[in-house]
């Protein structure tokens, strides 16, 4: 089952999986658009799914089980991008970012997990971002949603591993998807004069990168097929040379910050004996 399967990275993943002969449940808010984008294929079920609606998620999973009898892999791919300085983003925009990029994958996963538990097998693959590893200027909403994904997925792995269910977080760098198109990217709507100059430069940067990203989503789709076939499934896959460089930077900074205050951090134990000591 692949969310947002009719465009961008989701479409490339869908086509790659179908080409290998696997059955696919392709989902999207506009069922007709998804079906048209993919084209006819054997063992393809296209269903409507707004990931922000838990009832939609439950109905999509039921339709999948009714058609194929089981589900083996969920790919949480759907996302959007609310770009802007935190002060200029409205509460509604922040809520919409989290609803789609964090709570949405939770809705779909919650609907899928009972099926995977019954099978005692399955995979939950969630597309995060390098924004799940490091925050960046103009990306507070997006990074908040992706950092949330990271913590949720790491915790979920420990919860579902006893049932034979594996989770994988994918951290792509810049890939030539549709995330930066007008359909997927929204800018902050509450301008503040202090940010004017920097906002103009940021908007120019993000609009200018649409269609210029170095990563090839078709190659990423093939890489995910390779990773998904590994047993056990790794917990993380860094996608793209820029993602690898970002992860190395994050690890180096964390190590530096750990070393810088190691003595102070290690001297914070309570000097008083525990209340129940000696009982």
The tens digit of pLDDT for each residue in 72-131 reads 999 999 988 899 999 999 999 999 999 999 999 999 999 999 999 999 999 999 999 999
Q: Is 78 left (phi over 0), alpha (psi -120 to 50) or beta?
A: beta
From CA 154, how far away is CA 7, in angstroms rounded?
Answer: 27
Catalytic residue among 82, 101, 129, 142: 142
To the query of whether residue 166 is one of the catalytic residues in this protein, the response is no
Q: How confident is the model at residue 212 (pLDDT cuts 50, 70, 90)?
A: low
Q: In whole angstroms, what is the distance from residue 228 CA to residue 234 CA?
A: 9
The answer to whether residue 128 is catalytic is: yes
Task: Spot the catalytic one: 15, 82, 101, 128.
Answer: 128
pTM of the model: 0.91
Active site residue 266: no
What are the chain's domains? 8-265 (3.40.50.720)
Out of 82, 101, 146, 228, pick the active-site residue. 146
pLDDT tens, 226-257?
999 998 999 999 999 999 999 999 999 999 99
Residue 74 CA to residue 56 CA, distance in Å, equals 15
């Amino acid at each position: 089952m692949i969310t947002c399967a009719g465009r961008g990275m989701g479409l490339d993943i869908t086509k790659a999986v179908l080409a290998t002969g696997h059955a696919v449940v392709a989902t999207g808010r506009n069922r007709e658009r998804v079906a048209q984008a993919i084209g006819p294929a054997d063992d393809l079920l296209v269903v409507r799914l707004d990931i922000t609606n838990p009832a939609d998620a439950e109905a999509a999973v039921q339709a999948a089980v009714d058609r194929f009898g089981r589900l083996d892999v969920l790919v949480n791919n759907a996302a959007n991008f609310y770009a802007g300085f935190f002060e200029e983003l409205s509460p509604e925009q922040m809520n919409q970012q989290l609803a789609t990029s964090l709570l949405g994958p939770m809705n779909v996963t919650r609907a899928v997990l009972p099926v995977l538990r019954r099978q005692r097998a399955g995979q939950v693959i969630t597309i995060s971002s390098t924004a799940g590893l490091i925050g960046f200027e103009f990306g507070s909403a997006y990074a908040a949603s992706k950092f949330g994904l990271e913590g949720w997925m790491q915790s979920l792995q420990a919860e579902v591993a006893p049932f034979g269910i594996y989770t994988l977080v994918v951290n792509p760098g810049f890939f030539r998807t549709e995330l930066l198109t007008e359909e997927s990217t929204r800018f902050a709507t509450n301008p503040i004069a202090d940010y004017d100059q920097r906002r103009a430069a940021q908007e120019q940067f993000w609009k200018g990168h649409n269609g210029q990203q170095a990563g090839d989503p078709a190659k990423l789709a093939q890489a995910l097929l390779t990773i998904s076939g590994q047993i056990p499934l790794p917990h993380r896959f860094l996608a793209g040379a820029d993602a690898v460089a970002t992860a190395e930077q994050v690890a180096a900074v964390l190590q530096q910050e750990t070393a810088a205050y190691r003595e102070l951090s290690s001297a914070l134990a309570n000097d008083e004996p525990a209340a129940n000591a000696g009982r």
